[in-house]
């Protein structure tokens, strides 16, 4: 009995340092990426702000001041029906910022790391399972996505000439949506970065990322697609739909939106699916 207890205690002492070592290695990779992000913070902020700022300026500043009524101002018809287009845009543009930042933070660096120089080999030599290196990329991209959402929020709130009606209906739900959406966008970036050849990454942004953005209920609520039933059902395979609807539910509860349990369930489903696909692709590219 004493010898068995001694062996069990020794095994416990042996296992503990390994877990601590993994945690330290994971934190080391994370802090290294944060240091790199700090040096490139200004270009990152410019990249995040430019597209939403231009869109807001054209559709919520220029067009509301154009003459010609609804024929020249597509936002006028929404305003006449009681829907403030600026309010609709707020959660949608935050979802776009989360998606673009998450994909760019993982897919673009992977294109370089899997290139001719094989920089990825230096990263996977750290004392971590290879799959954990991929998970670290997703977690770090989630931080960038949350920062991007925090940057876009004041732009989408204060830039429009028409007032934005927004308030947080539930902080726990908002935080949960932000975390799930940010992790999901990072997992999508990992899937793209490990599936597509490095020289084709630019093509993917035009062929995949832009379509899922415009069909992601960013510029209109999902309920507004009722009269195009086939499209309303078809966009349900698009993860950014649930990001937009989740933020719309948390920030602009007065607008029509999906049920909150459905949003959380589908974001969790896409997170698990894309993480599995991304990690499997990462292992195949690194080990295979």
* Residue the block writes with tokens 């195949």: 284
Number of domains in the chain: 1
Question: Which range has the worst mean pLDDT, 89-93, 106-110, 243-247?
Answer: 106-110
Answer yes or no: is pLDDT of 109 > 90: no
| 74 domain residue, yes or no | no
Residue 19 within a domain: yes
Q: 254 lies in a domain?
A: yes
Q: What is the pLDDT of residues 174-231, one digit of tens each?
A: 999 999 999 999 999 999 988 887 777 777 777 777 888 888 888 888 988 888 999 9
Residues sharing a CB contact under 8 Å with residue 170, sequence separation 6 or more, in sequence order = 250
Say how far apart CA 156 and CA 36 lie, in whole Å: 28
Query: What are 41-84's pLDDT values in tens digits?
Result: 787 778 777 777 777 777 777 766 665 545 455 555 555 455 67
DSSP-derived 3-state class of residue 217: coil
- Length of the chain in residues, anyone? 288
Name the nearest CA neighbour of 190 among 288, 95, 285. Answer: 285
> Per mean pLDDT, which range of 27-31, 102-106, 148-152 is the poorest?
27-31
Tell me how many degrees the CA angle 145-181-214 measures, rounded to the nearest 5: 90
Q: What is the DSSP string of 111-137?
A: HHHTSTT-THHHHHTSSS-HHHHHHHH
Mean pLDDT of 20-24: 80
Q: Using one digit for the tens of pLDDT, what is the confidence trace for 251-277?
A: 988 888 899 999 999 999 999 999 999
**Residue 76 domain flag:** no
End-to-end CA distance of the chain: 46
Residue 202 lies in a domain: yes
Per the structure, the complete domain to which residue 57 belongs is given by: 2-67+81-287
Does residue 75 belong to any structural domain of this protein? no
Task: Specify the pTM.
Answer: 0.85
Percentage of the chain modeled with pLDDT above 90 = 27
**Model confidence at 3, in pLDDT bands (50, 70, 90)?**
low
Residues 6+ apart with CB under 8 A from 223: 256, 257
Q: Is residue 229 in a domain?
A: yes
| Residue 50 placed within a domain | yes
């Amino acid at each position: 009995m004493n010898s068995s207890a001694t062996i069990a205690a020794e095994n416990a002492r042996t296992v503990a340092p390994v877990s601590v070592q993994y945690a330290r290695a994971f934190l080391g990779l994370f802090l290294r990426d944060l240091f790199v992000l700090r040096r490139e913070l200004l270009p990152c902020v410019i990249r995040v702000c430019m597209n939403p700022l231009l869109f807001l300026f054209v559709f919520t500043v220029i067009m509301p001041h154009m003459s010609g009524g609804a024929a020249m101002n597509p936002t006028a018809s929404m305003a006449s029906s009681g829907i403030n287009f600026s309010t609709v845009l707020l959660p949608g543009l935050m979802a776009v910022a989360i998606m673009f930042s998450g994909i760019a933070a993982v897919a673009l660096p992977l294109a370089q790391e899997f290139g001719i120089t094989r920089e990825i080999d230096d990263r996977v030599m750290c004392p971590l399972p290879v799959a954990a290196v991929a998970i670290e990329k997703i977690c770090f991209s989630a931080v960038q996505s949350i920062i991007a959402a925090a940057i876009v929020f004041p732009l989408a709130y204060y830039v429009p000439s028409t007032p934005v009606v927004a308030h947080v209906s539930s902080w726990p739900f908002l935080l949960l949506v932000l975390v799930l959406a940010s992790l999901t966008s990072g997992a999508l970036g990992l899937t793209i970065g490990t599936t597509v050849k490095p020289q084709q990454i630019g093509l993917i942004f035009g062929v995949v990322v832009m379509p899922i953005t415009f069909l992601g209920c960013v510029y209109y609520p999902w309920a507004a697609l009722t009269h195009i039933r086939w499209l309303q059902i078809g966009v349900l395979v698009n993860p950014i739909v649930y990001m937009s609807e989740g933020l719309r539910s948390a920030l602009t509860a007065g607008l029509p939106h999906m049920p909150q349990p459905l949003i959380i369930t589908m974001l969790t489903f896409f997170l698990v699916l894309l993480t599995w696909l991304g990690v499997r692709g990462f292992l195949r590219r690194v080990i295979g």
